[in-house]
A and B are shown apart, each in its own frame.
Chain A
Amino acid sequence: MSDFLTLFAPALPEIFVLAMVSLILVIDAALDDSKRYIAYVLSLATVVGAAFLTARDFSAMPVLALGGLFVDDPLADVLKLFLYLSVAVVMVYSRDYLRQRGLYKGEFFVLALFALLGMMVMVSASHFLTLYLGLELLSLSLYAMVALQRDSSVATEAAMKYFVLGALASGMLLYGMSMVYGVTGSLALGDIAQNLTDGTDLRIPLVFGIVFIVAGLAFKLGAVPFHMWVPDVYHGAPTAMTLFIGTAPKIAAFAFVVRILGQGLESQVAEWRDMLVILAVLSMAVGNLAAIAQSNLKRMFAYSTISHMGFMLLGILAGSQNGYGSAMFYVLVYALMSAGGFGMILLLSRAGFEADQLDDFKGLNRRSPWLAFLMLLLMFSMAGVPPTVGFYAKLVVLQAVVEIGYVWLAVAAVLFSLIGAFYYLRIVKLMYFDAPHDTEAISACPDARVIMSANGLAVLALGILPQPLMAVCVYAVGASF
């Protein structure tokens, strides 16, 4: 028994989440609609419990467990804590929205927790097999969540596109992984890194495999030219699901990329750096330019996601601890801003009305000065205006890029960010200088308002005092590589 416990102890948070999801699944079947809040409370309790377990067993150095498939290191633990936070925030934001649209069902919570489990598996994977299984667990849950609104043809179409393109991306990823397996003879990231530093005479198949892996990763991240699904899925999915897709999975995707490229294929940095440069530049260009033309806020944020993912790739392609740390900081900040942005759409929506058009934000200042101010902070942060945290996040990534001598890349990134500032500031202009289009009172519930205030103010507070979070990122990356 004690052997069993020590064997599985590092994966205790995962086991806890799985047990709780199964429990919620059974309990929810017996609940009628008036008692649905029990599933909601239990889901939040699951997230809090998992956070407690992760924090209690925080490991200061990497520990391989479960036959080398699982690694418990500071990077995994820190990222898991942020995953819990973002999933909990998403649940609070979306409760009213889901209830008004008949989506407030146990399935939402069960699928969200399964997705969380998939992300947890991804961030603490040390093997191609677990990386892939975690990714599939996450993706399958997300496809189902997007399709949850069955009577909406837009949502169904979005889910279908997401599913087909996601399957294609998985295929590419697996093909690339099989090539790397053929060259190194192992699927464990540690062994792969070891074999590759020892040198291999199978360079061409290795690079061929890396190409497919990078293409698969780019698909999942939504980097140009593999970005076509992002706007359609973000636009078509119910906003609560878009909020979910736009926050926690981005953190997991960062871990996924860093684990494969930074840990497994670290010695091949010269090969994948150039591929990431192309992806990053194209993503920032297409994302920022196409966002200008959008009148739907969800679609605009989708293009903004593409450009932000491009920016995050800049940090990763630096290939240094500094670079990974800055990319981690960037993605955490992005998740925070994205939660605020989509959360604001949810707060302003009400039964039968989606506040996802630019016009719906006109004159928000007159309807609710506080919410308008919070949105202003979020938009400034996304655009990278000091003193918000978006500025600092961009700054550290650019520092990492300049350190490896890619000054032109940093200049290009700044230029595209300047272009991007236009559509973020346009929202600020609509909120403060235009007359309200929509005059209904804002019917957001108090807990969502409190979380939104914390979310918006966190963007400002972290912008003034970025050092603690940055120190956490540097520590997590430094102690895990």
Chain B
Amino acid sequence: MTYTTAIFYFFAAILVFAGLRVITARNPVHAALFLVLAFFTAAGLWVLLEAEFLAITLVLVYVGAVMVLFLFVVMMLDINLDKLREGFWDYLPLAGFVSVLLVIEMALILGGRHFGLDVMATPAPHAADYSNTKELGRLLYTDYVYAFELAAVILLVAIVAAITLTLRRRKDSKYIDPAEQVKVRRNDRLRIVKMQSEKGPGVRGQDSKGEGA
């Protein structure tokens, strides 16, 4: 076993474990943290594939941004996961049986003999100064510009859909209208009342009472 193979199996084992814990962890925060671990080890696997840029993006975007937001949401929403997970253990034997069967069947068909090293040659490693960021950028903005734009349109649809489905204009929401705010006149805010000035010993005493209240 070479050094890279050992690293691959190390990462792969952690990835599978973390993936399983994501769906079995009782605490949603733990599940989210295991998902972070899964992303992190997946990034490690991508580095082994010489996809350094994608690996870094995965860590930065998914671990750094998406999962942190997700954790916030999980912490802020009071989700009773036990209720959502009702029946999980009841269905587990059947679901487990079916999925184990599927994995075995797929392993029989897709074993190393079809995609192993003796069938497909190892791709030649790139030189140290090879920049896959540059390659990726070139491909994205030339050959795949159509697909790139379509992906952008899909994100736009997601924005439209999310806003449509969640934005509710409440009638009782309080908001500030700066245009109205600057138009305010002195008379709207301040009223000068003419009254008799008061004198006498009683005034001082009343004042000290007022301070206490």
Chain A interfacial positions (CB closer than 8 Å to B): 11, 18, 25, 66-67, 69-70, 105, 107, 110-111, 114, 117, 121, 127, 129-130, 133-134, 136-137, 140-141, 143-144, 147-148, 150, 182, 202, 204-205, 208
Contact = CB atoms under 8 A, between A and B. Distances in A.
A127 B148 CA distance: 14
A140 to B, nearest CB: 5
A111 B160 contact: yes
A18 B119 contact: no
10 contacts: A67-B145, A69-B147, A70-B146, A114-B156, A130-B147, A136-B154, A140-B157, A140-B158, A140-B161, A202-B114
B165 interface: yes
A70 B114 CA distance: 31
Interface string B100-122: 00000010011000110001000
Contact of A137 (B110, B154, B164): B154
B147 A144 contact: no
B144 interface: yes
Contact of B109 (A25, A136, A208): A208
A140 B154 contact: yes
Interface of B is mostly: helix
B114 to A, nearest CB: 5
Interface string B140-164: 0011111100110110111011001
B160 to A, nearest CB: 6
Contacts of A127: 147
Interface of B: 106, 109-110, 114-115, 119, 142-147, 150-151, 153-154, 156-158, 160-161, 164-165
B103 to A, nearest CB: 14
Given A202-B114, A205-B109, A121 B160 contact: no
Contact of B153 (A18, A148, A150): A18
Nearest to A105: B164
B160 A67 contact: no
B114 A137 contact: no
A114 B153 contact: yes
A143 B106 CA distance: 32
A67 B110 contact: no
A133 B119 contact: no
Contacts of B119: 202
A67 B144 contact: yes
Contacts of A204: 109, 114
Given A67-B142, A70-B146, A208-B109, A114 B160 contact: yes
Contact of B146 (A25, A130, A148, A182): A130
Given A66-B145, A114-B153, A148-B165, 19 more contacts: A67-B146, A69-B146, A105-B164, A107-B164, A111-B160, A127-B147, A130-B146, A133-B150, A137-B150, A137-B153, A137-B154, A140-B161, A144-B157, A144-B161, A144-B164, A147-B161, A202-B114, A205-B115, A208-B110
A141 B146 contact: no
A111 B144 contact: no
Nearest to A141: B157
B161 A121 contact: no
Given A107-B164, A202-B114, A121 B150 contact: yes
Nearest to B142: A67
B115 A182 contact: yes
A129 B151 CA distance: 10
A110 B110 contact: no
Contacts of B161: 111, 140-141, 143-144, 147
B151 A107 contact: no
A392 B157 CA distance: 39
A150 B146 contact: no
A205 B114 contact: yes
A67 B139 CA distance: 10
Nearest to A182: B115
A148 B109 CA distance: 44
A156 to B, nearest CB: 9
Nearest to A129: B147
| From B119, B150, B151, B160, residue with most partner A Cβ within 10 Å | B150
B138 to A, nearest CB: 12
Given A18-B153, A202-B114, A205-B115, A107 B160 contact: yes
